[in-house]
Amino acid sequence: MTSPLERTDPEIADIIRRELERQNTTIQLIASENFTSRAVLEAQGSVLTNKYSEGYPAKRYYGGNRVVDEAENLARDRACALFGAQHANVQPHSGANANQAAYMALLEPGDKVMGMRLDQGGHLTHGSPVNFSGRMYDFVAYGVDDETEVLDYDAIRDLAVRERPRMIIAGATAYPRIIDFEAFRAIADDVGALLLVDAAHIAGLVAGGAHPSPVPMADVVTFTTHKTLRGPRSGAILSRSDYAAGIDKAVFPGLQGGPLMHVIAAKAVAFREARAPDFRRYAADVVQNAQALAAGLAAEGFRIVSGGTDNHLMLVDLRPFGVTGKVAQEALDRAGITCNKNAIPNDPEKPFVTSGLRLGSAACTTAGMGPDQMREIAALIGHVLRAVDDDAAAADVREQANRLCSKFTPYPEGA
Ligand code: DSN
């Protein structure tokens, strides 16, 4: 029997079918991706998308919000309970929006802010000159130590003492180590700065107890809900209650219009799932799998930036193999292994080329893979990157990736 979508729009139905097949049959190693649950997909694909709800529960601009108010209240309460936060705003459409709203609430245009450099593991919204953040605020960048490739908190303190920022941002998109939020809090206190933690990547690890929580240390925590947290593609903001009104005002009416109530409901589902005991097991497995993958790659001859990983991701220096990140990403794509090129610290290559790959274990762990499969994947990556132009090697690995995925299929029941 055909579905309503197949009848109305066979082209889009076919695209969704083929994307499902891609996710089911190839290995997903993008560190910011995951396979969300059927329950989350169902909430996100619901009639809640029809409702206009500008404002907040019990304070909306339009009528008819009695029912969806319950969804937003559940999402807010569950986020607070999950992370031990005093206040949650669950309306940001993405992590970038969450950051923009948090900056709007805490800063004036032109204020000085310290953030991690994009090419050392930070994010566009942490002050990149091509992003609103770099244009609106006076960003000063910190990075990792040249030798150890980890954050040097003494150097960050020295910079903060020199620059006296109004706010310090801790958090990264490509940093494989535990972030010491206590150290960041102490630095912020020393210079009278606010501390914002962008926990987009690690939110699921924090929820599952596999990474120290930034919530007790930070004034504001922003995060995305679709990475290690495994919810719908979206964002959220946690804060102390004294910032609650300012954050809420910045999200709406400051930045966004109508909230996406179907996505907010899906976030509520994800927060509930993340409170279940098996999510703690999941978060620990994600880290264990990342460590197994990093060890497997090191055994293949790759250099792992900073020597390993404490979280869900690793940065792989490809220079020992004489290939760039761009070439490696494309070769692996042809072989059924999805990942992204990524700058490594002090990368001599341009951002569209890079010398590295960023690999993450969150999605494969959701699919049920363990350390044995991680070692197998490391060997497949080694095989492909030793012969990037060899079509036969790519085809062989693609078949092996396919076989592996047939045993660890994220959506075995199909669309
Ligand atoms: N695109 C996200 C990531 O891959 O880390 C950050 O926005």
Report the C-alpha gap between 380 and 384 in whole angstroms. 6
Q: Which of 17, 112, 233, 303 is catalytic?
A: 233
Q: Which of 26, 36, 173, 224 is catalytic?
A: 224
| 409 within 8 A of 22, measured Cβ to Cβ | no
And the tokens for 308?
Answer: 């390993």
Give the model's pLDDT for residue 313. Answer: 98
| Alpha carbon of 228 to ligand 1 centroid (Å) | 12
Atom 1 of ligand 1 has which residue's CA nearest to it? 32
* pLDDT at 269 exceeding the cut of 90: yes
Measured from the CB, is residue 173 less than 6 Å from ligand 1? yes
Measured from the CB, is residue 32 less than 6 Å from ligand 1? yes
User: Domain residues of the chain, as ranges?
Assistant: 41-274, 279-407
| Alpha carbon of 330 to ligand 1 centroid (Å) | 19
Measured from the CB, is residue 34 less than 6 Å from ligand 1? no
Q: How far is CA 3 from CA 17, 18, 20, in A?
A: 12, 16, 16
Q: Is 227 labeled as catalytic in the residue annotation?
A: yes
| Alpha carbon of 162 to ligand 1 centroid (Å) | 30
pLDDT tens for 333-384 read 999 999 999 999 999 999 999 999 999 999 999 999 999 999 999 999 999 9
* pLDDT at 302 exceeding the cut of 90: yes
Domain 41-274 and domain 279-407 have a common topology:
no
Measured from the CB, is residue 131 less than 6 Å from ligand 1? no
Q: Is 54 labeled as catalytic in the residue annotation?
A: yes
Which helix (H) or strand (E) segment holds residue 24: the answer is: helix 10-25
Q: Is 386 labeled as catalytic in the residue annotation?
A: no
Q: How far is CA 41 from CA 96, 146, 270, 289, 355, in A?
A: 22, 43, 10, 25, 36
| Alpha carbon of 32 to ligand 1 centroid (Å) | 6
Structure letter (DSSP) for residue 113: E
Average pLDDT, the chain: 98
What is the sign, positive or negative, of the torsion defined by CA atoms of 140, 143, 146, 147? Answer: positive
Strands (E), 87-182: 87-89, 112-116, 138-142, 167-170
Q: Is 2 labeled as catalytic in the residue annotation?
A: no
Alpha carbon 367 to chain centroid distance?
18
pLDDT tens for 379-390 read 999 999 999 999
Report the C-alpha gap between 97 and 101 in whole angstroms. 6
Report the C-alpha gap between 28 and 364 in whole angstroms. 6
Alpha helical stretches, state H, 303-390: 325-334, 362-366, 371-385
Give the model's pLDDT for residue 414. Answer: 85
Report the C-alpha gap between 26 and 165 in whole angstroms. 45
* pLDDT at 415 exceeding the cut of 90: no
The two beta strands, 27-28 and 55-56, are unpaired
What is the sign, positive or negative, of the torsion defined by CA atoms of 29, 30, 32, 34? Answer: negative
Report the C-alpha gap between 292 and 3 in whole angstroms. 42
Give the model's pLDDT for residue 1. Answer: 82
Q: At residue 56, what is the residue type?
A: Y
The minimum-distance atom of ligand 1 relative to the CA of 201 is 5
pLDDT tens for 5-36 read 999 999 999 999 999 999 999 999 999 999 99
* pLDDT at 215 exceeding the cut of 90: yes
Fold of 41-274: Aspartate Aminotransferase; domain 2 (3.40.640)
Q: How much of the chain exceeds pLDDT 70, in percent?
A: 100
Report the C-alpha gap between 99 and 104 in whole angstroms. 8
- Which of 114, 112, 88 minimizes the C-alpha distance to 101? 88
Structure letter (DSSP) for residue 324: -
Q: At residue 14, what is the residue type?
A: D
* pLDDT at 190 exceeding the cut of 90: yes
Atom 4 of ligand 1 has which residue's CA nearest to it? 32
| Alpha carbon of 63 to ligand 1 centroid (Å) | 36
And the tokens for 291?
Answer: 């460590």
Within a 10 A sphere around the Cβ of 381, how many other Cβ atoms? 28
Helices 325-334 & 371-385 angle (0-180, nearest 10): 110
Fold of 279-407: Aspartate Aminotransferase, domain 1 (3.90.1150)
Structure letter (DSSP) for residue 151: B
